[in-house]
Structure 1
């Protein structure tokens, strides 16, 4: 049960959404954008999040787009994970988000909600970082398209009142070889001990991680190590573990030692699948 009262709005246009947000803000109250609402309910029940008003973006047409547009795949922030997988527009992303939660939950969890999650995992962002995805955001009358990388540093760095509308992916990435692996403690459904997504572009491996550190990341340094064919694969992987951007997570999902063991084995699988040397 949620212990506080809040107003709920579901506007039908970008303009209406921005007006609602500004109206709540001008009254000295806190407004929050949602695109799925599953996480808001979960955290509100435990008093880990609060808002006087929530503004649901699911009614905005631009947030429900899922199509090939010219040379781009365009995905609205309010599109559910299952719709992304079932559309097969971008199989790499579809394969990754298919591993998040259970099937019923993925009907409700949206791509925008997962990217903006308060949890540390945000697994849907992994392939997006690897394919240089762009995002369309709006604040007031300012609509802009920028690289996801410029807004994502451990988490999405949207400014107050800024709304994620769409994710845009260059279609040239669709046919590239990829792999997406997730390892959990007990079953296929659950938070990852380790999630690794990888894609091969121009014979260079790009890799992104979730569950290893307390935020998802892609590292140029780690990619340079994994692509160094002068070093045996086992030595490359050992070197990766010594060059992580922060300490390995140690929690109920898995100890630091266990996560290290799993990460080594997942990277071995990735390197073998991508035929990255001996």
Structure 2
């Protein structure tokens, strides 16, 4: 149970959702877009989230799209991780999403909810960062389509009243060789210590990481180091470690030193695996 009451709205169109947010904001209701709802329930119980009006966007058709359109795969933000996993239209996303929480939770957590969450893991964003996906966002100013790497900087940088509608990914990235591993320290479905996703495209390896810093990221500096083919695996890995963004997490899940130790081994495995991949 949440320690506060709220009004519940379920709009059927994008415009209705945006108009509702503006109206409720003017009424001082602190409206909250609701997709999977797991974060509101989790944070609301410990007084880290509050709203007087929930706008549930799961009934909006555009948010539940899952289809190939031309040379792109379109995925709506309201798709659950279980739905994405079972459809398996984007194997790297399937494997990464299948490691989030447990099966029961994945049936409730949505793609958009995970990507836009306040909790810093947000593993579902990693494949989209690697694939140069584009996001469809809507707000009071209308729709806009933006490369995810332009708008995701530690988190999805949304203006007040905006929400994520869809993600579009080119087929060539979907079919590219990939490597993804999640390491936990405590139990099979516990919070991750490190999640690493990598993809090989145009003979270059791309890397995105969650759980190392207080935000998921893809770094061009790490990728520059990883792709120095004139160096040994060890030199490439150490160059990538030296290029990591800061700060590195140091918490109950694992110390800074242990996280870097685990990451060093995962990077070496990713480089060795994808160096051999032909695409």
Give the TM interval when normalised to the shorter protein.
over 0.9
User: Partner residue of 2:203?
Assistant: 203
Shift of 1:276: 6.2
Q: What are the equivalent positions in structure 2 for 1:27-176 lying under 5 Å apart?
A: 27-140=27-140, 142-176=142-176
**Deviation of 1:161 (Å):** 0.4
Per the TM alignment, residue 154 of structure 1 is displaced from its structure 2 partner at its CA by: 0.3
Which residue is 1:241 aligned to? Answer: 241
Question: TM-score by structure 2 length?
Answer: 0.96
Is 1:272 equivalent to 2:254 in the alignment?
A: no
Give the distance between the partners of 1:187 and 1:265, measured in 2 at CA: 20
Deviations 1:14-60 (A, max 9, x none): 12211211111111221011211011100000000111111111010
Report if the CA contact (8 A) 1:194-1:211 is conserved: yes
The answer on whether the counterparts of 1:130 and 1:207 sit within 8 Å (CA) in structure 2 is: yes
1:216 aligns with 2:209: no
**Which runs of no fewer than 5 residues in structure 2 stay unpaired?**
none
- Rounded to whole Å, the distance in 1 between the matches of 2:81 and 2:3 is 29
> Structure 1 unaligned runs (5+)?
none
Q: CA deviation at 1:107?
A: 0.5
Q: Could you tell me how far 1:140 is from its partner in structure 2?
A: 2.5
Q: Which whole-Å deviations, capped at 9, do the CAs of 1:195-226 have from their partners, x for residues lacking one?
A: 11000011100000011111111111110100
Contact 2:25 2:31 in 1 (8 A): yes
Confirm or deny: 8 A CA contact 1:205 1:223 kept in the other structure: yes
**CA RMSD, 1 decimal:** 1.3
Q: In the TM superposition, what is the alpha-carbon distance from 1:188 to its structure 2 partner?
A: 2.7
Query: 1:99–1:188: 8 Å Cα contact kept in structure 2?
Result: no
Query: Whole-Å Cα distance in 2 between the matches of residues 202 and 152 of structure 1?
Result: 23
1:141, distance to aligned residue in structure 2 (A): 5.5
Deviating more after overlay: 135-144 vs 217-226: 135-144
Secondary structure, aligned partner of 2:58: helix
2:239 and 2:225 map into 1 onto residues whose CA distance is 7
Distance in 2 (alpha carbons) for counterparts of 1:24 and 1:94: 36
Q: Give, in whole Å, the separation in 2 of the partners of 1:41 and 1:65.
A: 25
1:192 touches 1:211 (CA, 8 Å); kept in 2? yes
Deviations 1:58-102 (A, max 9, x none): 010000111111111000000000111111111111111011000
Instruction: Give the TM-score normalised by the residue count of structure 1.
Output: 0.97
- What is the distance in 2 between the residues matched to 1:141 and 1:48? 29
